[in-house]
Amino acid sequence: MTIIKDMSARSTGTATISFGMVSIPVKLYTATQPSSGISFHLLHAKDGSRVRQQFVCARDGEVVPRDEVVKGYEFARDRYVVFTPDEIKALEEKATQAIEISEFIPIDKVDPVYFDKPYYLGPDRGGAKAYRLLAETMARTGRVALARWAARGKQYLVLLRPAHGGLVMHQLLYADEVRPFSDVPQQPVEVREQELKLATQLVDQIASDAFHPESYHDDVKQRVLEAVQRKVEGEEIRVTPVEAPGAQVIDLVEALKASLAGPRAERPAASAPAERPSLAERETVERKPARREPRRAKKK
């Protein structure tokens, strides 16, 4: 029997886009999927059992049960004001699920450093025409929308932009959540025209006109998964430490010339990596017996 999986996206919630007297009911879809990243559990080295975390009082070292834990805000060093769950609940933003557009601005005026979490927006029942009208209008004018969105007890600053024939909503960071670049120390240096020309040639040599994210893969994740597989199969893993290269003083112009004269860097192939069978799948595969070397005839 063949099992057909439903690959369509599932809505995680609903909202209403509003600007002027226009209201557009939409559905929210997560634009990213959590990576099945590698997570290691904490075990007791003695018997390999999982260990549990506990709350310990910093003053007397006593283990505090969860039902005796309260929330407090530190307004001065080691001084707190305590809030009850009802008080915290009363301070939360009411989840109206309204996405209220405040202004439309050019997309190139928004620094990507403010981008946080993305969502796909799809039209809900009765909103298809207004949804399409808003998406095409923003695409034609080259502008995106800044809006406020109240959800999960918080108020978010979001950006709506037209993409893929629809709308994408980006949760943005507030201004006080982004540090100014002026905090980064820099030394004043002068770049010569010859260096700029050589660097530009090097950029042109490996430039592309499109973004292909499928060409890049998490090599570290794959390496860890392979190591886990070998350990499951009983193989001993030996790690050889790699020494980090030390800082070197180089001639910038000569380094650029050498880069241009060297072999041209190949772009990653835009093909999906071969899927490695899961642990469960590999355990069900019948293993062939080890091949033995034929015995040699004894010399008379």
- The amino acid present at 166, given as its one-letter code, is G
Rounded mean pLDDT, 217-242: 76
Residue 147, number of CB atoms within 10 A of its CB: 21
pLDDT, residue 118, reads 94
DSSP state of 159: E
Lowest pLDDT segment from 21-30, 120-129, 175-184, 213-222:
213-222
| 265 band by pLDDT with thresholds 50, 70 and 90 | low
CA angle 74-77-79, nearest 5°?
55
Pull the structure tokens for residue 139.
């695409």
Pull the structure tokens for residue 185.
């120390």
B/e letters for 70-107, b = 16+ CB within 10 Å, e = fewer, are: eeeeeeeeeeeeeeeeeeeeeeeeeeeeebebeeeeee
pLDDT, residue 273, reads 45
Lowest pLDDT segment from 106-110, 111-115, 222-226, 272-276:
272-276
- In this prediction the pTM is 0.65
The residue with greater pLDDT, 184 or 5, is 184
| 237 band by pLDDT with thresholds 50, 70 and 90 | low
List pLDDT tens digits, range 267-294.
555 544 444 444 444 433 334 444 444 4
The residue with greater pLDDT, 173 or 47, is 173
pLDDT score of 123 more than 90:
yes
The residue with greater pLDDT, 261 or 243, is 261
pLDDT, residue 266, reads 57
pLDDT, residue 230, reads 85
Residue recorded with tokens 């030390």: 246
| 246 band by pLDDT with thresholds 50, 70 and 90 | low
User: CA-to-CA distance for 39 and 264, rounded, in angstroms?
Assistant: 37
Q: What percent of the chain has pLDDT over 70?
A: 77
The residue with greater pLDDT, 89 or 168, is 168
Rounded mean pLDDT, 235-241: 60
At a CB cut-off of 8 Å and minimum separation 6, what does 28 contact?
A: 11, 12, 13, 14, 15, 119, 120, 121, 169
pLDDT, residue 247, reads 54
- The amino acid present at 246, given as its one-letter code, is G
List pLDDT tens digits, range 25-76.
999 998 887 666 678 888 888 888 888 888 999 889 899 998 899 999 998 9
Query: Which domains does the chain show, CATH number per domain?
Result: 13-31+93-177 (2.40.290.10), 62-91 (no CATH)
How high does pLDDT run on average in the chain? 80
Contact 107, 146 (CB under 8 A): no
User: CA-to-CA distance for 52 and 43, rounded, in angstroms?
Assistant: 9
- The amino acid present at 63, given as its one-letter code, is V
| 176 band by pLDDT with thresholds 50, 70 and 90 | very high
φ, ψ (nearest 5 deg) of residue 17? -80, 130
Closest CA to 84 of 74, 73, 70: 70
Give the bridge partners for 30, in sequence order.
Answer: 119
